[in-house]
């Protein structure tokens, strides 16, 4: 089974994180629930609440990191989530700009982004 997710499925994962207890899922979540549960990105709790699994949480975090790399590539002053900044800095993909706010891509970050973009084709 193919584990690659569509944009709609990623959006559904994100929407699941925003669901409040007892709230009905929106149409995006509803149409993608079966596949996301089948791929073990989400699960129903005993009370019926739809929640992300650890795999789903990791997938969303990785997507945020990739989106962060793209944002820094387009605009070094792009605002990034603190968790994303920490992860990308530790992995050597971005470095803080010495002269101002923001970050610069390292050669490793550019290489990783090029590799990711080549697989998207």
pLDDT of residue 1: 37
Contact 81, 64 (CB under 8 A): yes
Per-residue model confidence as pLDDT tens digits over 57-91: 999 999 999 999 999 999 988 999 999 999 999 99
Question: At residue 2, does pLDDT exceed 60?
Answer: no
Q: Which of 36-45, 55-64, 65-74, 91-100 has the lowest mean pLDDT?
A: 91-100
pTM of the model: 0.85
Distances (CA, A) of 11 to 25, 32, 53, 85, 90: 12, 10, 15, 22, 27
Q: Is the pLDDT of residue 37 over 60?
A: yes
Question: Where are the domains positioned within the chain?
Answer: 7-52, 64-120
Average pLDDT of the residues in 16-24:
87
Alpha-carbon distance of 55 to 34, in angstroms, equals 16
Indicate the pLDDT class of residue 121, thresholds 50, 70 and 90. low
């Amino acid at each position: 089974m193919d584990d690659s997710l569509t944009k709609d499925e990623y959006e559904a994962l994100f929407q699941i994180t925003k669901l409040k207890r007892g709230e009905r899922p929106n149409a995006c979540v509803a149409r993608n629930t079966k596949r996301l549960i089948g791929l073990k990105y989400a699960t129903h709790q005993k009370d019926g609440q739809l929640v992300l699994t650890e795999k789903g949480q990791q997938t969303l975090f990785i997507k945020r990191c990739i989106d962060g790399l793209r944002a820094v590539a387009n605009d070094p002053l792009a605002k990034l989530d603190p968790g994303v900044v920490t992860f990308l800095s530790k992995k050597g993909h971005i470095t803080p700009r010495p002269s101002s706010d923001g970050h610069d891509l390292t050669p490793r970050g550019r290489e990783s982004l090029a590799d990711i973009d080549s697989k998207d084709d």
